[in-house]
Structures are given as structure tokens and as C-alpha cells.
Amino acid sequence: MAIELKKEVREELVRSIQRYFDVNMDEKIGNIAAGGLLGFVLEEIGPVIYNQAVADVQQHLQVRVADLEFEVHEEASQYWRKIDQPRRR
């Protein structure tokens, strides 16, 4: 699955890459080159990050689903137990 970005987000990230180069590198990077670098990162590195995030969410959800039995479980046939309890005292 390709990672698609909204136009505004892509433009913001391109500006961020340009700023990073301005602050940390000896050379400036233009708009087209920054867009190309962003495209490379999205295609090459993005899926690794995305897949890890999906695995993390799956693990979290599996723990939550396993807890459901304890969180929402109700014992059956409780009516008469509630009624009979006060009489036994």
C-alpha cells in the first residue's frame, strides 16, 4: 500500500526538509530535490514505519480483546442467587 499524503502535508514536509538542509547541511536543497527525497523516504522507509505501527496497534488490540472476557463477562442465572441470599442470613 503506497503512502499517500494530502497536498498540504506534502508541501509542509518539503519545506521541513529544506529547513533541515538549511540548518544542518552545507548545501541548500531545492523544492524539487526535497520533494524527490520525500518521495524516496515515503517509498523506501515509510512502509517499515507503517508496518511497525500496524503491528503495535494489533498487539495493543489483542491485549484489549483478551481483557474483554474479564471486563464484560456476566455470570448466568444470578436472579435467584440474589433473591435467596438475604433469606439465608
Range with lowest mean pLDDT among 17-21, 48-52, 73-77: 73-77
Quick count: other Cβ atoms within 10 Å of Cβ 35?
A: 17
Task: From 73, 4, 84, 80, select the one nearest 39 (Cα to Cα).
Answer: 4
Grouping H, G, I as helix, E, B as strand and the rest as coil, residue 28 is coil
pLDDT (tens digit, 9 = 90+) per residue, 2-15?
Answer: 789 999 999 999 99
pLDDT value, residue 88: 57
**Rounded average pLDDT over 40-53:** 95
CA distance 80 to 84: 6
pLDDT at 26 over 80: yes
How many Cβ atoms from other residues are within 10 Å of residue 13's Cβ? 17
Domain locations along the chain: 7-88
